[in-house]
């Protein structure tokens, strides 16, 4: 695979190409272009793809100037406090931001790993679209509370970690099996908390996200096996995570075993994950992932 070029500006892709769409999503600095982008090109059409794109690693995402990006994660409300509207607004703001970063990073991987199979990259675009759908659902809930995205500071934690992945196997290990896997716990936990707080609409959105994330984890498991040439193995997955990350910070407790099994993770894998000692001193992705 060719060495990727680091890049902060728009690469020279065709105006209507998948690659151009991915770069636009990552680099956009206008609020609606970022949160509600144009539809992706049809990945089934040959002309939607750049013929021989160079590998490009975008260094960081574009951010509208009015958004406050911080180096420290804002404190996240605990699930038991969600009867308070201010707490619900803050956690919904966090959810929107996590979905945005996930969508951006699926797009980032299309550009970073152009020599991977077309089916893989088309799948990344599909998952990117689902993350944008989740973003829209959470943003609608946030607006229902009289707030909007950008009202709170954000920390781009995922962007500090995922672009260190040097290979597509490492990418699906962290983004799919790691961050998306942990969201199976967090979505279920917060769905129950929203329902307990009397917010049935919010609970159903979280349950929708959990169902979709099962597919995201299954996608990652399939392609991890493809890229490593072997059945999914816990030790191989753990070794693929970029330091200092370990499985200890890529899970919630208790594990959502039903959802993880539905994604194709077997009991041996889940037992190893659950036995990981809890770590201190390693910053995690916050309340949700």
pLDDT value of position 282: 39
What's the number of domains the chain is made of? 1
Asked whether the beta carbons of 105 and 159 are under 8 A apart, the reply is yes
pLDDT value of position 52: 85
What is the C-alpha separation between 138 and 70, in angstroms, rounded? Answer: 21
Asked whether the beta carbons of 189 and 80 are under 8 A apart, the reply is no
pLDDT value of position 44: 97
pLDDT value of position 4: 56
pLDDT value of position 79: 82
CATH number at residue 137: 1.20.1260.10
What's the domain range around 96? Answer: 12-34+69-274
Of 92, 64, 73, give the one whose Cα is nearest residue 153: 73
Asked whether residue 134 is assigned to any structural domain, the reply reads yes
Asked whether residue 202 is assigned to any structural domain, the reply reads yes
pLDDT value of position 284: 45
Asked whether the beta carbons of 171 and 162 are under 8 A apart, the reply is yes
Asked whether residue 49 is assigned to any structural domain, the reply reads no
Asked whether residue 180 is assigned to any structural domain, the reply reads yes
pTM of the model: 0.93
Asked whether residue 92 is assigned to any structural domain, the reply reads yes
What is the C-alpha separation between 99 and 23, in angstroms, rounded? Answer: 17
What is the C-alpha separation between 59 and 75, in angstroms, rounded? Answer: 26
**Ranges of residues in the chain whose predicted pLDDT is under 70:** 1-9, 74, 279-289
Asked whether residue 161 is assigned to any structural domain, the reply reads yes
Asked whether residue 207 is assigned to any structural domain, the reply reads yes
Asked whether the beta carbons of 6 and 59 are under 8 A apart, the reply is yes
Asked whether residue 54 is assigned to any structural domain, the reply reads no
């Amino acid at each position: 695979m060719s060495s990727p070029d680091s890049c902060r500006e728009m690469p020279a892709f065709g105006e209507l190409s998948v690659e151009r769409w991915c770069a636009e999503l990552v680099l956009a600095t206008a609020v609606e272009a970022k949160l509600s982008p144009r539809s992706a090109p049809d990945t089934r059409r040959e002309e939607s793809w750049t013929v021989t794109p160079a590998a490009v690693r975008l260094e960081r995402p574009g951010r509208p100037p009015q958004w406050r990006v911080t180096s420290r994660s804002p404190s996240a409300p605990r699930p038991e406090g969600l009867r308070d509207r201010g707490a619900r607004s803050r956690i919904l703001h966090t959810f929107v931001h996590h979905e945005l970063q996930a969508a951006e990073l699926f797009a980032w991987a299309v550009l970073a790993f152009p020599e991977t199979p077309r089916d893989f990259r088309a799948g990344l675009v599909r998952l990117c679209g689902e993350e944008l759908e989740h973003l829209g659902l959470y943003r609608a809930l946030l607006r229902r509370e009289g707030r909007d995205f950008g009202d709170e500071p954000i920390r781009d934690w995922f962007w500090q970690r995922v672009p260190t992945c040097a290979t597509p196997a490492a990418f699906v290990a962290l983004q799919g099996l790691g961050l998306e896997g942990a969201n199976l716990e967090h979505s279920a936990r917060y769905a129950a908390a929203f329902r307990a707080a009397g917010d049935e609409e919010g609970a159903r959105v979280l349950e929708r996200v959990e169902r979709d994330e099962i597919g995201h984890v299954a996608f990652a498991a399939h392609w991890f096996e493809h890229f490593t040439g072997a059945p999914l193995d816990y030790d191989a997955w753990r070794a693929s995570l970029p330091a200092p990350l370990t499985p200890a910070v890529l899970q919630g407790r208790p594990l959502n075993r039903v959802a993880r099994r539905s994604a194709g993770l077997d009991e041996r894998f889940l037992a190893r994950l659950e036995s990981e000692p809890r770590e201190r001193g390693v910053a995690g992705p916050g309340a949700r992932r």
